[in-house]
Structure 1
Amino acid sequence: MDQTRALNALAPYVALAKSANSSRAAADLVTQATSANNTYVFAELLQQPNVQALAGQEQYGAFHELLKVFAWGTWESYKATQGLPPLSDAQATKLRLLSLLTIAAQKPSTTAIETNLSYTALCARLDLESPIDLEHLVTQAIYNDLISATLNPAAQTVVITSVAPLRDLAPGSVADMIAELSAWSGRCDGVLADLEQEIAKVKASAKRRHAREVRAEKQRAAAEGGEKSGLSGILNESKGGRTLRGPAKKGEEDIEYEDPMELDGGSGMGGLGGGGKKRSAGGGGGGMSGALAGMMGKSSGNGGR
């Protein structure tokens, strides 16, 4: 519930308080306002002159004190204050709901976070007889949008996550708020300093990583350049060797090898000699062919004789 809704619920009683000409009428307005639905802030009603006039009166002064309890007090402060009027069921439920808001909004210590919100502690502070009564009260507070909470019957705890800002400020609470805000500001400054240190570390790490990447890229480029240079030298040497050996290979390819036993044009063994002439162009093989041809010629001559 937001404050606007609570203020709208209180507005009719503020208007009536302006026209309350008797202390009895002002006291009745206090009772009606604290019993009504959706009235959870009372500072504006408390500031009305006709209501302030109740303070110090023997007969109706207790109603002024009761309104202050509903504005910023708790069930414990009501029980501790002597001479206050008895509460109706609606007023008792309203004051317990307001007390639950105060308890839930209090900053617990690290060692008492579960104790403050345990069934046992809440029942004691709200003067409830059983955990079932506490669960009914917490459920009502949730449905009235006073708190966001979950019940954990197994662990006997109430886990409250948010509280509606519906309590009035007690006199002297501004100094406490300033101290709390100063402490919060100090914590924020500490967090910002830690974040700046982490940012500086991240930037330094990124700078070092970038430098390593640049060095690695240069080394990779240098290695690739060396490989290309070596490959070019090998290719040039290969081309030069092929140029020097080229004529010899070509000369060898131009030599025409013929079978020594091939007959030329039906000339008989004389053709072998002709074959020998062609072989002579190739080297020592031609001399052997000529010798064979001479021997065959002599053999033919002897046969003719």
Structure 2
Amino acid sequence: MAQTKALNALEPFMALTKSASAPRAAADLITQATSNPNTFVFAELLHAPQIQALAESSEYSSHLKLLEIFSYGTYHDHTSATDLPALNEQQIRKLRQLSLLTLAKSPHNLSYASLQRELGITDDRTLEELVISAIYAGLLDAQLDARNRTVHISSVSPLRDLAPGAIPSVLDSLSTWSARCGSTLDELETEIASIKATAAQRHADKKAWAAVEEKLAQDVRTEDQGYVHGRNQPNMINRAVQHLRGQRYGKRGSVEANVGDEDEEPMDVDDEDVYDEGDANGNGKKRASRRKL
């Protein structure tokens, strides 16, 4: 979104290049474009024929170098040179904001002291205001750590152009990043395969254990049924006999009258009584008697 906004902001200046045939007009156009608060990309303007023609002008060639710094350089590059045009307040603020995007490539070097040295700032308050303005402009996402005097930048907008000869190093960085991503993907695929294998083995073990439990339960049920049948079989026979006797005898063992059975005879019960018959000498003598009921 920030890149689209910046490109749209550059369109009016690209239209003016058609009439900027004189070196003075082209130089003024550079000053206007770099002073505008909404322009942050300059590659298209830099490669315009009218702007490139300034390289042949001894008086305004420095404006072409200035535009190159705004395109892919830093504020420190401007202060290190001696033949560049002076910057107005808007240009200083703009170049410092763009320099933050380049300095964010080294997150370990974002202390207040380092940024103040690179951006030509002498106090913390000015640096913090610059970072806040860059955040509100959509150039970066950052947090100010005033206690530790550090700026934590989490992301930057792709608004910086590539310097000449920077493509090979960019390709190397992309190749390294691609190889790292490929290695990470291979590790993830290996881990996923391991997790799937572990899950399948766990499912198989669970299924096998369920089958073992079912077999054990079936064996126990079979044994219980056999045990219950063998244990209760005598009791069942006894209950059957008692039921049959109950139909024949009363509750106290007396014979129930059966009107239809006249031929039934009383039951003989032999009762052996054993007792001692004492003699004169005190010696006992056993005698058995039988009674007939």
- The alignment's TM-score, normalised by the length of structure 2, stands at 0.82
Deviation at 1:234, TM superposition (A): 2.4
Structure 2, unmatched stretches of 5+, are 255-265, 274-289
Normalized per residue, the structure richer in strand is 2
Determine the C-alpha separation between the residues in 2 that align with 1:246 and 1:121.
105
Corresponding residue for residue 286 of structure 2: none
3-state SS of 1:53 partner? helix
Q: Is the 8 A contact 1:42 1:70 kept in 2?
A: yes
How far did residue 215 of structure 1 move?
2.1
Aligned residue number for residue 81 of structure 2: 81
**Cα displacement (A) at 1:240:** 3.6
Rounded Cα–Cα distance in structure 1 between residues aligned with 2:51 and 2:208: 82
Whole-angstrom CA distance in 1 between matches of 2:55 and 2:222? 103
Among 124, 130, 133, the residue aligned to 2:117: 124
SS at match of 2:33: helix
Look up the SS of the partner of 1:172 in the other structure: coil
Shift of 1:251: 5.9
Matches within 5 A, 1:18-33: 18-33=18-33
User: Match for 1:249 among 242, 259, 265?
Assistant: 242
Q: Which amino acid aligns with 1:16?
A: L
Deviation at 1:87, TM superposition (A): 0.8
Q: CA 1:44–1:247 in 2, change beyond 3 Å: closer, same or farther? A: closer
CA spacing shift, 1:88–1:234, aligned 2, 3 Å: same
Matched letter for residue 34 of structure 2: T
Deviations 1:46-85 (A, max 9, x none): 1111111111422111011111111111011112223011
Q: Is the 8 A contact 1:78 1:84 kept in 2?
A: yes
* CA distance in structure 2 between the aligned counterparts of 1:47 and 1:194, rounded to whole angstroms: 45
Question: Does the CA contact (< 8 Å) of 1:255 and 1:282 recur in 2?
Answer: no
Evaluate the alpha carbon distance shift between residue 101 and residue 282 of structure 1 in structure 2; reply closer, same or farther with a 3 A threshold. Answer: farther
Distance across 1 between alignment mates of 2:38 and 2:195: 52
User: Counterpart of 1:283?
Assistant: 269
1:41/1:168 contact within 8 Å kept: yes
**d(CA) in 1 for partners of 2:240 and 2:180?**
92
**Structure 2 equivalent of residue 52 of structure 1:** 52
The Cα of 1:284 is off from its aligned counterpart by 4.9
Report what 2:263 is aligned to: none
RMSD: 2.7
CA–CA distance in 1 between the matches of 2:87 and 2:57?
A: 20
What does residue 273 of structure 1 align with? none
One-letter amino acid of the counterpart of residue 50, structure 1 = Q
Partner of 1:91: 91
Partner of 1:102: 102
- Aligned AA for 1:125? E
Shift of 1:235: 3.5
CA distance, structure 2, for counterparts of residue 282 and residue 136 of structure 1? 129
Distance 1:283 1:163 in 2: 119
C-alpha contact (below 8 Å) 1:74/1:96 kept by paired residues: yes
Map 1:8-19 to 2 at 5 A: 8-19=8-19
Q: In structure 1, what is the equivalent of residue 5 of structure 2?
A: 5
User: Residue 61 of structure 2 aligns with which residue?
Assistant: 61
Matches for 1:66-215 after TM superposition, within 5 Å: 66-104=66-104, 106=105, 108=106, 113-114=107-108, 116-215=109-208
SS of alignment partner, residue 159 of structure 1: strand
CA positional deviation for 1:154 = 1.0
Q: Which has the higher helix share?
A: 1
> Using the alignment, how far apart are the partners of 2:4 and 2:241 within structure 1?
110
CA contact (8 A) 1:152 1:159 kept: yes
Question: For 2:54, what is the secondary structure of its paired residue?
Answer: coil
Structure 1 vs Structure 2: percent identity of aligned residues? 40
Structure 1 runs (4+) greater than 4 angstroms displaced: 256-259
Deviation at 1:159, TM superposition (A): 1.1
State the AA in 1 paired with 2:36: A
CA contact (8 A) 2:74 2:99 kept: yes
